[in-house]
Structure 1
């Protein structure tokens, strides 16, 4: 309470110090942003959008325009002050700034002092906004941006599973709910623009950022991404999907210093890597986008007129503004070497179509070179006006010129991390869990079991079992605690058994290193505990030390001594259940062969312990499906869905087939598919196909099934994939219940990029496949395109 009061006093003092001595600028129904006593067109809420943009732009100096083309990172990141000071009158943002990122969200140096209680954070941003409105000449409000791929990136906001886990739910309606919760909390806290969703496709599991992706298939990623975008923008926020474009396939799956040279052919680029973004802009209307720092075919994306203007604006009709990923602009001259210096780099990116530069450095590091480029004639004023107009248009659209002071201090405590939002988080955690193996129906375990050993480096871990770009300081329950709470009358004990990584990691992935004394002792303790128990629940996998941005791998086996631990516990002869908590596919071949029960929980968020306990002991029937293929070896990579004919060779000298295919996931019940109906089996090239099937729960318990629709073009002018995902629905069925599942195939679903690089629907026969995974096809049919 004392901290909240002191911040309120600081805010009031700040407002009083910078309110000015003249007549108030706050009029009835409008704000006199330029302080001239006249209602200018841009200040008139009833004026047409384009007229307001044009009027404001006509009043701006070159200094003010260029300041609307850069980001300022918030307190503790780049901005030194938590609140406006007299010195701000001498800073470059005295002429305004496009946006301020991650201000008072709890991740900077000032930590929770500004971010929690929540009201502190709102009042902090409102005070900063008031300075820009009242103390800059034209009063252009700031766009307060933040991350939000697994819930809002704010201290104690509601935490959801990592985006890879969200993808495993295959539930469009649930993603809409996650978006709603994220948006409601962002809106209550006063953020206006969320850098979400990530629309990269996870085609290489070695890459560290697969944890941040919905999956490897463009249709799945695009459909879930659409729901996130629509949900965020339904609350009046801007959704800024990322990373555009062709970012997620660096050579060898490597990240960090080698973020270049994706080996992707033009048709593959269009079909796979650009398709989720096309849906984001053409079907969901996203108003923001983040350009990536990689190149494509030798051309850096952030400096590419083809990508940022021809595709994004001319082809897809994008009306928002493009913000660069951090260092994407600087990479033109520091890494890619296509620009001589910062001035040349600024000219290239602005002429290409970039609107706002972002970096973890002061905005003048870009703005001054930008002004030099303008003065040297490298960028025309027409281009500058066009780029700034895009930024202003979005600010008008989000209502910043009608009510610049966002946030609701009266409803904060009833919104952020409220019980209803926590319920959505719990549901997401449950629906993300995938049952990989259930030999002899070992799962679910009996609730009457007497002695349970919970073993493994992820069993009692919290801090490292989340991914980046989301909430911090959430009350996460460990798996060990979740099982203890679930079985209050049983003896539940814990042994770590091993660390996630050993002291020689990652070099130890290349050769066998003998166990040291400490490691031997840890495994011995785990084995002794298993021997004294009725069942051993092994909680293994990875964490932020093994899978995240800049943390790519050369091996997909269990890290460190975890497999040795698993084998030692299995050798006791006690029943063993493996729970994987990780952010990527793993080559768990030994476990698949010997361990009877395996579930994958990804990084499930704050309800990790409760959700996993409910699944293991049968209070929840898992229905998640893999959104990525699990290869059997890194030697098979690339090995993602969809794939072309003949992409896997004979098994004479190499392993073939996946460990677990795309779309795979078991259940505690069984489902029967029947009655595939194609309503219009003959259509024209611009026609659509309606089809349906029946799915029945033939088991004894309720459960979810993800009904998946695949399509194959039997004869085409260019090679196509063996099958492509073109529809999915997650349904819930009681025992004996049957439902009809409907799908519609549109020309967009049937088209291809032909030899002339035009997207068309070709006449011919199309095969329809409906099933429980990409390999478990239950129903098949055909239709003709004339």
Structure 2
């Protein structure tokens, strides 16, 4: 722990000067006779980087590890078009990195300043690249990045289900396909990098960013993370960027998903053991199984050290233990926050020193802290070799992306590829496969007849979730139902309540809707539903009531998991009519809907389902699609049960007075319109050595009358261990489709990786003993067998 800032600064400067060779502040200028190896496409990338670095001045290097976002307006004219004179004056040493060229002028809501369409984005990218490659001294192209969490966050791009919904599909192949489309739509605009995927472990549903994650389980998150990166970059470990692909950015390393008090950027109260057992595995899996080239550090601190100043995390673990070779980039303004939030730096200069020393290579999105590095090098406080190392890593990305050979994009192709028919079809399929059936007393599927009331704050609007784009077409649940059965059934609509006065994710202030006005809307909904046969009621969140809280004036976390506002009152009033009610949850975080779970006839969990969400919900409601999703998180009965996750330690969950420790819905849970029978697990070998393998097989039969999907899940427990272990851990899953009467055998391999643990010496080992091998279709509906592991 650093107890004296001034002592640290002096010691750090001394350590840097001793550990690294002294470099000149300005590299010698290249002579006319010097061969420009960096311009030779046939030369090895390492040699090209060496050659280019040797030609660069200090200020040119720093330009490569800083970025521009909010200041982009300084290089535009009044019509937000690029002004070459302003550009040259603003960036005399070149421009290394450019944030989100598709937006209009930085961190502004697209409702206030609509972003650039595909052709306009390409025009800006090409103009910037032409300037960079022809008008700057060395002709270094610019690296652009965009957001693409569940679709390219730009005008005209396809919007897919939010990450937590995609995780509910338990379908890695589909997630790979989705991210392949995202990559294609981004790359065709000339952008080779995306800040996605998120592989944080979500351990606190109060946290507004839980919707951005793949859930609470390390294995599930890791498999989804690998699939996402394979979609974005391509399958395999090649580090060179392929056509139609983008560099993925793995984020946020680490502990971000279990913040103190559930509030964004709060400290992560986790030990090294907790990191290695739960938070590290998804990152490690992606690094070791893919060609990931960028990792983003997390805002939070661990054991008093913010991630952006944590050399142990970024160098020792990420680079040395896991073998990561790419670049580490900062989260937005996180280097500055070493000063403004964490208070481990007195100013931006000290913040830059801490981050650079820890291994952060680029300062996103505006480079305010790293802009001070030139002064620090000239004053002898930072060794230029550190700047060289960061610059090298960022330049390597540009060479691997092929930007020195082809920095330009094709405007016509960008319009043809973006949100094409294939992308829209995949948006529908992914939404269909993400929906979870939580309850059904026989109400579903609905018959397309009589009068159906479609009610609720998310009935007539397509909610996309945080980091949404601006797709050209969206389908609400009301629109989807009308399109499917409007000619057969009479559809009536009422809003019922509003949740927040606004639903703009970008808007800082959030105002809950007026209770008095909501009660008027409830009365109108009751009247509209009085004569109907069935009610479809949408409840949940808006993009404001659950979101990333990125500043004190832009909050997104909540201390309650209850439905916001008068939504419960709306349900109660409609229930009093005695009509059958199907609830569709459209939300960003798990909702503690105990009464609704008891009283509704059927419940669907949709999360945010993307641009085709309304059609997907209608397909499920009326039986054209059999829901097969499973919960990627545990749903608590109340916030008082937190923290609540399925892979707890044996001493947890002893019990409460006057209530239960059982969740409202367990991890891995989800129903179907058909019935599946699963056999007990069969081990190919019941005894293996610590380095051995075996397989476990389960027979699955569809004994119902409909075709449907089941997700077969494998859990393992170490019965007796040298340190405490979870009561169960997911170690495999497979989603299968079976016709009525069809059977299939599902087989999982159990390897040392399935059994290993961190012992009391923090060594990863497989300990001899008995392991309970559990299989089933949720984390609670399990059958077991015993595997013996011998020394």
CA distance in 1, matches of 2:429, 2:103: 25
Offset at 1:200? 0.9
Cα deviation per residue 1:342-365 (whole Å; 9 max; x = unaligned)?
111111111110100013x4x4x3
Cα 1:658–1:446, aligned 2, differ >3 Å: closer, same or farther? same
- Shift in alpha-carbon separation, 1:631–1:675, aligned structure 2, 3 A: closer
Deviates more, 1:331-340 or 1:613-622: 331-340
What is the aligned partner in structure 2 of residue 142 from structure 1? Answer: 142
Q: In structure 2, what is the equivalent of residue 245 of structure 1?
A: 254
> Over residues 433-487 of structure 1, what are the superposed CA-to-partner deviations in whole Å (9 max), with x where a residue is unaligned?
0000001x1111112x21011111111123xx22222421441111111111111
Q: Which moved more, 1:774-783 or 1:542-551?
A: 774-783
| 1:397 paired residue number | 400
Match of 2:318, SS? helix
Check the 8 A contact 2:363/2:370 in 1, yes or no: no
After superposition, the Cα gap between the structure-2 partners of 1:110 and 1:657, relative to the gap in structure 1 and judged at 3 Å, is closer
Residue 371 (structure 1) shift = 1.4
String of CA shifts for 1:391-423, please: whole Å, max 9, x gaps: 111211111122122x33343333110111111
For 2:65, the equivalent position in structure 1 comes to 69
3-state SS of paired residue (2:188): helix
> How far has the Cα of 1:756 moved from its partner?
1.0
- Higher mean alpha-carbon deviation, 535-544 vs 38-47, is at 38-47
Secondary structure of 2:681's match? strand
Deviations 1:538-595 (A, max 9, x none): 1111111210001111111111111011011011111111111001111100011111
2:351–2:369 Cα contact (<8 Å) kept: no
* Structure 1, unaligned runs of 5 or more: 1-32, 504-512
Secondary structure of 1:95's counterpart equals coil
**Structure 1 counterpart of 2:653:** 648
Which residues in structure 2 correspond to 1:96-115 (within 5 Å)?
96-105=94-103, 108=106
Matches of 2:247 and 2:432 in 1, distance apart?
29
Residue equivalent to 2:507: none
Which of residues 750, 758, 765 in structure 1 aligns to 2:755?
750
What is aligned with 1:670?
Answer: 675
Offset of residue 160 of structure 1: 0.3
Shift of 1:502: 8.3
Q: How does 1:540-619 map to 2 (within 5 A)?
A: 540-550=539-549, 551-619=556-624
The answer on whether the counterparts of 2:769 and 2:789 sit within 8 Å (CA) in structure 1 is yes
CA contact (8 A) 2:65 2:361 kept: yes
Q: For residues 36 and 610 of structure 1, do their structure 2 counterparts lie closer, same or farther at Cα, with a shift above 3 Å needed?
A: farther
Whole-angstrom distance in 2 between the partners of 1:98 and 1:683? 54
Query: Is structure 2 residue 360 aligned with structure 1 residue 354?
Result: yes
- Residue in structure 2 matched with residue 162 of structure 1 by the alignment: 162
| Deviation readout 1:117-162 (Å, 9 max, x if unpaired) | 5222212201111111111111111111001110112111111011
* 1:656, distance to aligned residue in structure 2 (A): 1.8
Indicate the residue corresponding to 1:530 in structure 2: 529
Alpha-carbon distance in 2 for matches of 1:691, 1:519: 54
Taking the aligned partners of 2:740 and 2:105, their CA distance within structure 1 comes to 47
Q: Is the 8 A contact 1:74 1:100 kept in 2?
A: no
Structure 2 equivalent of residue 181 of structure 1: 181
Partner of 1:412: 414
The answer to whether the 8 A contact 1:712-1:767 is kept is: yes
Separation in structure 2 between the aligned mates of residue 171 and residue 588 of structure 1, nearest angstrom: 27
* Residue 527 (structure 1) shift: 1.2
SS at match of 1:727: strand
- Is this contact kept in 2: 1:350–1:379, CA < 8 A? no
Asked if residue 696 in structure 1 is aligned to residue 706 in structure 2, the reply is no
DSSP-derived class of the 2:253 partner: coil
Written as runs of structure 1 = structure 2, the 5 A alignment for 1:424-463 is 424-439=426-441, 441-447=442-448, 449-462=449-462
Q: 1:764–1:96: structure 2 CA closer, same or farther, 3 Å change rule?
A: farther
Say which SS state the counterpart of residue 215 (structure 2) adopts. coil
Q: Over residues 223-264 of structure 1, what are the superposed CA-to-partner deviations in whole Å (9 max), with x where a residue is unaligned?
A: 001011111112442110111111122111012xxx232111
Structure 2 residue runs of 5 or longer lacking an equivalent are 1-28, 235-243, 503-511, 550-555
2-structure distance, mates of 1:384, 1:432: 45
Partner Cα separation in structure 1 for residue 133 and residue 724 of structure 2: 57
Shift in alpha-carbon separation, 1:309–1:782, aligned structure 2, 3 A: same
Distance 1:134 1:564, change over 3 A: same
Match of 2:334 among 328, 331, 354: 328
Alignment length (residue pairs):
733
Residue 34 of structure 1 contacts residue 139 of structure 1 at CA under 8 Å; is this kept in 2? no
Tell whether 2:291 aligns with 1:297.
Answer: no
Q: In the TM superposition, what is the alpha-carbon distance from 1:491 to its structure 2 partner? A: 1.1
Q: CA-atom RMSD, angstroms?
A: 2.3
Go from structure 1 to structure 2 and tell me whether the alpha carbon gap of 1:413 and 1:675 turns closer, same or farther (over 3 Å shift): same
1:500–1:273: structure 2 CA closer, same or farther, 3 Å change rule?
same
8 A Cα contact 2:76 2:86, kept in partner: no
1:197-220 deviations in Å (ceiling 9; x for gaps): 011111101111001111111111
Aligned to 2:508: none
Tell me: CA distance 1:524–1:46, structure 2 relative to 1, closer, same or farther (3 Å): same
Say if 2:634 and 2:667, in contact at 8 Å, map to a contact too: yes
Deviates more, 1:328-337 or 1:577-586: 328-337
